[in-house]
Amino acid sequence: MIRCAIIGCGNNVEDLHIPAMEGIRDLEIVAACDINTNRLNRFGEKYEIAHLFDSFESFLRSDIEVDFLDISTPGFTHFELCWEASDAGYNILVEKPVTLSLDQTIELKNNVEKNNIKFCVIQNYRFRDCSLKAQKDVESGRVGKIHQINVTFHGQSVFSEPAPWVWNERKNKSLLYEICLHYLDLQVFFGGRVKKIIGSESSWNDKTETTEKLYAMVKHENGTIGIIDLQFNASSNYTHLEIFGSANDVLIKFFPEYYRIYSGNINPIDEVYHDLKRITDFGIPKIKEKLIKPKIKRRAKSHYRLFNLFVDALKENNPIMPVSLDDVIPTMELAEYLSKVTY
């Protein structure tokens, strides 16, 4: 049996982590920690967790034996918590962003290696259905040589985010690290390491004290060009990832998911067909989920895939992580480049 302690008992854990963990055999949540005692007690009662701690320090002083920590606290706390947990010898599964800077990520990597622990970052968008389809089509050669990747996020106000600490956009670099890091991660996952920023432009809203727009063109080491368009307070809201190859192009839409690989002329009938397919692909499973409780909620599937691989690695004492610190350093490099021109 693999024993886990959850550090941070907020909405993200209840909506995504718990449903993912419930689908994994031989995994038991034995402890939870949160500085909000009311939330902690409700969480412990709801999920029947016996050992509850209202501070990370009190957890570290306890004699509870666990195989790993699931850390899902605000991003700005991750570096310190992961450092302390690493020094204490705990294996770690941590939500993105792993830290808020490249230097901290490298420091943490060195500390993890010194303490010889297993460390996995929850960049779960790599494990979404559409990402896995794209990976398969890229690796099979169906896309051909990738020459351009576009990432587009047109979001609502930062104040629509449920966690109030995200609203302090400049301090927590929320647009880049909290909201859009998954999309930047996919940019690097498919395009490879970024070599340089060709150009960038950002805008700041004095009234809301938020970064409202960030545009950038980057060049990857393999020559692929990346175009990044990230916006708060956009007039329409959507998120796309586009991969342009020598043989076929890929379009990924999120919320709800949509995947399409195509080439040649695009006609209206073709577009209507794929729009209808997107509706049915979203709607029919949604109805089924309402009628018959699935083993894993659709929203938690990518978390489940990543968590399951991590737990299997612990069982088998396998040093290869689903998403290691080495894997995310190129993503953090891109975020660092953009952070310097934005904040």
| Backbone dihedral angles phi then psi of residue 251, each to the nearest 5 degrees | -120, 125
> Tens digits of per-residue pLDDT, 83-95?
999 999 999 999 9
> Tens digits of per-residue pLDDT, 175-202?
999 999 999 999 999 999 999 999 999 9
- Which has the higher per-residue pLDDT, 277 or 64? 64
Question: What pLDDT is stored for residue 40 in this prediction?
Answer: 97
Gap between the Cα atoms of 314 and 91, Å rounded: 9
Q: Which CATH architecture has domain 2-122+298-325?
A: 3-Layer(aba) Sandwich (3.40)
Q: CATH 3.30.360.10 occupies which residues in the chain?
A: 126-293+330-342
> pTM, whole model, 2 decimals?
0.94
Topology of 126-293+330-342 in CATH?
A: Dihydrodipicolinate Reductase; domain 2 (3.30.360)
Is the pLDDT at 290 greater than 80? The verdict is no
Q: How many other β-carbons are positioned within 10 Å of the β-carbon of residue 186? A: 24
Q: What are the Cα distances from residue 162, in Å, to 15, 157, 201, 234, 296? A: 13, 11, 28, 18, 24
Is the pLDDT at 320 greater than 80? The verdict is yes
Q: What angle in degrees, to the nearest 10, is found between the helix axes of 129-139 and 181-191?
A: 10
Question: What pLDDT is stored for residue 288 in this prediction?
Answer: 76
Question: What pLDDT is stored for residue 295 in this prediction?
Answer: 78
Tell me the Ramachandran region of residue 304: left when phi exceeds 0, alpha when psi lies from -120 to 50, beta otherwise.
alpha
Is the pLDDT at 293 greater than 90? The verdict is no
Gap between the Cα atoms of 73 and 164, Å rounded: 13
Q: CATH 3.40.50.720 occupies which residues in the chain?
A: 2-122+298-325
Is the pLDDT at 270 greater than 90? The verdict is no
